[in-house]
């Protein structure tokens, strides 16, 4: 157990639908990052939050949005889902100040049918 909790582990939904992925960061970590990993692909950075505020954006589609709540958990919302959105979605958390490595969760596997 890495300390980063992602739910659900698996999600199957139909095209056009909307889903919410949830992430609880490791205790004490203020930064949360979301990544998308398609089959045999690398880690595509989506978005970062730090202590409730958006800090950086990557190649995140307009159909996707995220937020970080006062208790520091984060949610990634994916809407108008397409077949190509099928992927593993990872959340990672980190501390701040000096460089810290990221701690990744075990991911949510999203399948759009």
Partner 1 sequence: GENVEQHPSTLSVQEGDSAVIKCTYSDSASNYFPWYKQELGKGPQLIIDIRSNVGEKKDQRIAVTLNKTAKHFSLHITETQPEDSAVYFCAASPVGNMLTFGGGTRLMVKP
Interface ranges with partner 1 (CB under 8 A) = 2, 4, 33, 42-43, 45, 48, 56, 90, 92, 96-99, 101-107
Instruction: State how far Cα 85 lies from the chain centre.
Output: 13
CA distances (Å), 7 to each of 43, 45, 58, 81, 95, in order? 19, 19, 22, 18, 22
In 3D space, the residue among 66, 86, 62 whose CA is nearest the CA of residue 76 turns out to be: 66
User: In this complex, which beta carbon is closest to partner 1, that of residue 8 or of residue 16?
Assistant: 8
| CA 33 – CA 23 distance, rounded (Å) | 10
User: In this complex, which beta carbon is closest to partner 1, that of residue 79 or of residue 106?
Assistant: 106
Nearest distance from C-beta of residue 90 to partner 1, angstroms:
5
Decide if 103 contacts 4 (C-beta within 8 A): yes
User: In this complex, which beta carbon is closest to partner 1, that of residue 14 or of residue 98?
Assistant: 98
Nearest distance from C-beta of residue 16 to partner 1, angstroms:
27
Nearest distance from C-beta of residue 80 to partner 1, angstroms:
27
Nearest distance from C-beta of residue 40 to partner 1, angstroms:
8
């Amino acid at each position: 157990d890495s300390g980063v909790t992602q739910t659900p582990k698996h999600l199957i939904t139909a095209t056009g639908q909307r889903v919410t992925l949830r992430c609880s960061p490791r205790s004490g970590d203020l930064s949360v990052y979301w990544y998308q990993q398609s089959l045999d692909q690398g880690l595509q950075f989506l978005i970062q939050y730090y202590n409730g505020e958006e800090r950086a954006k990557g190649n995140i589609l307009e159909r996707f949005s995220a937020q970080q709540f006062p208790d520091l958990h984060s949610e990634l919302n994916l809407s108008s889902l397409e077949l190509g959105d099928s992927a593993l979605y990872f959340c990672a958390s980190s501390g701040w100040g000096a460089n810290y490595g990221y701690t990744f969760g075990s991911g949510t596997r999203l399948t759009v049918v």
